Amino acid sequence: MKMELSRLIRNAKRIVFFTGAGISAESGIPTFRGKDGLWNRYSPAELATFEAFLNDSLKIWKWYLYRMWLIAKAQPNPGHTAIAEFEKLFSGKVIVVTQNVDGLHEEAGSVKVLELHGNIFEGKCRFCGAFYSKERFSEIFPIASKCFLKNLSESDFKEKILKGLSEDSLPVCPVCGELVGPGVVWFGEVLPEDVLSQAFSVSKGSDLFFSVGTSALVQPAASLPIVAKESGAVLVEVNPEETFLSKQCDFVFRGSAAKVLPSILKEVKNI
């Protein structure tokens, strides 16, 4: 199976790696659904919506700061690195379309990356629409910067940051004076228009589409593999569990991204 796929990879004109939380699981970042998923312990409606932010901004910021701290300390794993190597090996024909907000693809060296659900280290004001890049946001809210968080031990993070956080210390938008939230896409919010349209266009134009570490349940991202398949792409799934997409896939690898992707890369290099 790997040999046949390797030939397709070598001959492909456009390869999309569509990734989800599962690819970062082995970097120590919990997934959302599934056995150890975040949504087993927390309700999405209470944490990942603008209504939740309006109801209790302090609680939401504490939850996001905790996840930012986890992500700041995490390293890309061999799954991220293999995708970055694919891009180097086949320059110009590989693109990553990720639902993840952790930035680990870029950290692993991937250059062409579309972040459908934003980035956790950016800031977004839902009141006036102002967007804050990582650099700008770390000026407005220095404790939310990756450089700062990655040097904190768990006890320092909990004692010095989480315990000391109050309504008064939350980030305020310099444009409108309202509270700024994390630069991610919550349920009920639209995805960044330019990113989404590029994602649909590269998916339609792909001849090989990898769906890696995603339950492929959340729309509109979950439509990308379908659109790719309808446009003639070969679909490949890398996931230890069956998903709604599995039956539509031409190749299925039931294993972890950190093991399967490097092994496919090795095979491609060998032929």
Q: Which residues bind ligand BJW (CB under 6 A)?
A: 20-23, 25-26, 31-34, 37, 48, 99, 101, 117, 184-185, 187-190, 213-215, 217-220, 238-241, 243, 256-257
Annotation marks residue 80 as catalytic: no
Which of 77, 36, 64, 17 has the alpha carbon at shortest distance from 181? 64
> Residue 122: in which H helix or E strand, if any?
strand 118-124
Q: Is 176 in the site for Zn ion (CB under 5 A)?
A: yes
| Contacting range for Zn ion; rule: CB under 5 A; set: 48-56, 113-121, 159-167, 174-182 | 174-182
CB of 112 to Zn ion, least distance (A): 31
Q: Is 94 in the site for Zn ion (CB under 5 A)?
A: no
Q: Is 128 in the site for Zn ion (CB under 5 A)?
A: yes
Cβ proximity to ligand BJW: between 93 and 257 the closer is 257
Binding-site partner at residue 244 among ligand BJW, Zn ion, none, CB < 5 to 8 Å by type:
none
CB of 28 to ligand BJW, least distance (A): 11
Asked whether the beta carbons of 96 and 86 are under 8 A apart, the reply is no
Binding-site partner at residue 213 among ligand BJW, Zn ion, none, CB < 5 to 8 Å by type:
ligand BJW
- Residue 232, burial from CB neighbour count under 10 angstroms (0-12, 13-18, 19+): exposed
The amino acid that residue 241 corresponds to is E
**How far apart (Å, rounded) are the C-alpha atoms in residues 90 and 67?**
33
Binding-site partner at residue 175 among ligand BJW, Zn ion, none, CB < 5 to 8 Å by type:
Zn ion
Measured from each CB, the residue nearest to ligand BJW is 22
CB of 115 to Zn ion, least distance (A): 21
**How far apart (Å, rounded) are the C-alpha atoms in residues 154 and 217?**
32
Cβ proximity to Zn ion: between 130 and 165 the closer is 130
Cβ proximity to ligand BJW: between 93 and 104 the closer is 104
112: its two tokens:
């062409």
Q: What is the DSSP secondary-structure string of 73-86?
A: H----HHHHHHHHH
Torsion angle, alpha carbons of 189, 194, 200, 204, to 10: 180
Catalytic choice (93, 117, 124, 229): 117
Beta bridge pairs of residue 124: 131, 181
9: its two tokens:
């990879």
How far the first Cα of the chain sits from its last, in Å, is 13
Exposure of 218 in the CB half-sphere (CA atoms within 13 A): 23
Using DSSP's 3-state secondary structure scheme, residue 207 falls into coil
The amino acid that residue 119 corresponds to is N
Binding-site partner at residue 173 among Zn ion, ligand BJW, none, CB < 5 to 8 Å by type:
Zn ion
Binding-site partner at residue 206 among ligand BJW, Zn ion, none, CB < 5 to 8 Å by type:
none
Q: Pick from 175, 230, 232, 266: which binds Zn ion (CB under 5 A)?
A: 175
Q: Pick from 130, 162, 165, 227: which binds Zn ion (CB under 5 A)?
A: 130
Which residues are marked as active site?
A: 117
Binding site for Zn ion (CB under 5 A): 125, 127-128, 130, 173, 175-176
